Amino acid sequence: METPWARVGTALRAARKAQELTQAELAARADVSAGTIRAIERGQEFQKVTPTLRAVEAAIGWAEGSVQAILDGGEPTPAPAPETTQAAAVASLEGLPYRIAQALADGTALDTRLKTIGSGGEIVIIVKGREGATDEEKRAILREWERQEGHLDRLGEVADDSSDNQ
């Protein structure tokens, strides 16, 4: 019968091999020595779950508490997936209308421009290429933006002219 610490070692070895990692690669991820990984995989007993074991647990992609779960006869739990870049980007745009937040999160930013209006306002322009746009399409977008960008400089003039005539 396998000891609890041997079960931890067996589970760690299986997870490492499933990810096609060497002991040295896992050690580097966990910031421990390769000897530490070898010792754990051989079933070396520890007095308790140490910070080193927790670092290895995180580096292999297990949720916090997985080593203890294995010691208690259970199985490791995969760590929750980090938010996707897009989901994190949308979350960071909280307060904006959903349509705008989604548009800002999708695609590639190609250029930006801030235009001051009045004494305390700004127009923010972000020129984006759609998700999957080719380099040629992005160049075409930038050429069109450069053609239209001059119109922005006249926005203040138009506003000033209309207020003068009243």
| pLDDT (tens digit per residue) in 54-95 | 999 999 999 999 999 999 999 999 988 765 555 665 566 777
- 108, 109, 112, 106: which is closest to 86 by C-alpha? 106
Quote the pTM value.
0.52
* Whether 110 contacts 128, CB under 8 Å: yes
- Give pLDDT, residue 85: 53
Residue 102 exposure: Cα atoms within 13 Å on the Cβ side? 3
| Domains by residue range for the chain, with CATH | 4-71 (1.10.260.40), 96-164 (no CATH)
Percentage of the chain beyond pLDDT 90 is 44
In Å, how far from its chain's centre is CA 67? 26
Whole-angstrom CA distances from 52 to 27, 28, 36 are 10, 12, 9
